[in-house]
Chains A and B, each alone.
Chain A
Amino acid sequence: MKIFLTSAVIILLVANVILTGTVLFKTPKIGYVRSQNLIYGYLGMKEAQSRFQEKTNQWQTNTDTLRFDYQKSLSAYQQEYSKLSEKERKERENLLELQKNNVLNYSDAVSKKAKEEEEKMTEGVLNQINAFAEEFGKSEGYDIIFGTTLSGNLLYGNGAMDITDELLAGLNDKYKNK
């Protein structure tokens, strides 16, 4: 009976040590992605960039139209200058000044808006990528997923640990609602 109890205790102790060792010294599953490839290969980024480009093109067209109108008014004024009285010149100059300010103000407002829109666009895309990377990491059992960046936080990674293509494929499938 005593031998039996001693054996049971030893077996339990050994099992405990193995279990603790497995938990403590488990090799973490690590992968890395080439961040630039992931971001610019992502369909969500491509669509966001294309939409942003459409908006900026429209703003640019509006700015060009305002600028063209101003140039036209300025040329007309220069051509008619000699025929105008002092009072008329003053009035036309005031109008031109107003028109010029409108062009500058619109151009400034558009630049500010474009900057904000670009920030929003990038934020949205990065948040989508981060959310999917988290989901992917959990479902595939990754402990850590590194991202290579231009600032060089990861100097070398074995190609076998490069999961960029896998992650990008899943990300794009999700974007397309597959």
Chain B
Amino acid sequence: MTPASLLLSSLLPFFMVTGSGCTNKKNFTSESDYLKWLGSEESRLGKIASVNGFTIKVKYMPPEYLAWLEMKPGAGAGAAGNPDGDPAIFLKTVERYRQSLTFLLTFEPDETKRPGRDVMLHNVSDYNDYKERFMELNFNIENSVSLHAGNAVYLPVLSSLENIYQLVPGRNMLLVFAPPSKEDAAFYSSTELDVVLEDGIFGTGIHHFVFNRNDFKFASGLHLAFTGSATEKKGVL
């Protein structure tokens, strides 16, 4: 085996999501492959709107994936970690994430209309404009996004803009919604979940990203497993 093929074989199967037992069948070769599927029409967990040269995506983040992110080796400071690969810890973490709903909101330039143009710089003419954009996306997004479930409306309890130092022209933002009480029937039982974005930044108007809770079940039923790495032996998931 050549060094190149050895490297490839060790890298490719690093993250696998596979079917096993009573869980759903779906195979992925990498984490990015999995994320791509999450955002696809096939999974129905990713919704897209394209207006005014911008593409806005909202992607549902399954609790299992969020737990994996928190526990994977090398997770950032503050992450709980799971050095012994204890399944009980993992399940407890998943259960914690199930108390809320997390979505990834992405603003990107439409590559056919605004190729490579950083969304942070749209209509920005000076430092003050940039500062305003920065503040708006970092601290005021709660005023523009809401989750409608049944007759109830929820505002994000947490939003986090990914700082990527202009390496790519788009921006990701994690939005977490949680109900005021654990017995909130609308939040935990409504079939239709409508993430409403009232965009006052990019001139794209009001958007409804409607999810069906039943579609979440398939993603949650996927058994996440690692192959070809030390983490598999530790049985992190």
Contact = CB atoms under 8 A, between A and B. Distances in A.
User: Interface range on chain A: under 10, 10 to 19, 20 to 34, or 35 or more?
Assistant: 10 to 19
A73 B236 CA distance: 69
Given A127-B52, A128-B51, A131-B51, A51 B209 contact: no
A48 B197 CA distance: 12
Interface residues of B, number: 15
Given A131-B51, A131-B52, A177-B47, A124 B199 contact: yes
Interface stretch (B4-12, B83-91, B200-208): B200-208
B203 A120 contact: yes
Interface string A142-178: 0000000000000000000000000000000001110
B50 interface: yes
B50 A124 contact: no
Contact of A124 (B203, B209, B210): B203
A176 B205 contact: no
A51 B204 CA distance: 15
B216 to A, nearest CB: 16
Interface in B202-231: 203-206, 208-210
A127 B208 contact: no
B198 A51 contact: yes
Given A124-B199, A127-B52, A128-B51, A177 B206 contact: no
Contact of B50 (A51, A123, A131, A177): A131
Nearest to B205: A124
Interface of B: 47, 50-52, 194, 198-200, 203-206, 208-210
26 contacts: A44-B205, A44-B206, A120-B200, A120-B203, A121-B205, A123-B203, A124-B200, A124-B204, A124-B206, A125-B205, A127-B51, A127-B52, A127-B203, A127-B205, A128-B204, A128-B205, A130-B52, A131-B50, A131-B51, A131-B52, A175-B208, A176-B208, A176-B210, A177-B194, A177-B209, A177-B210
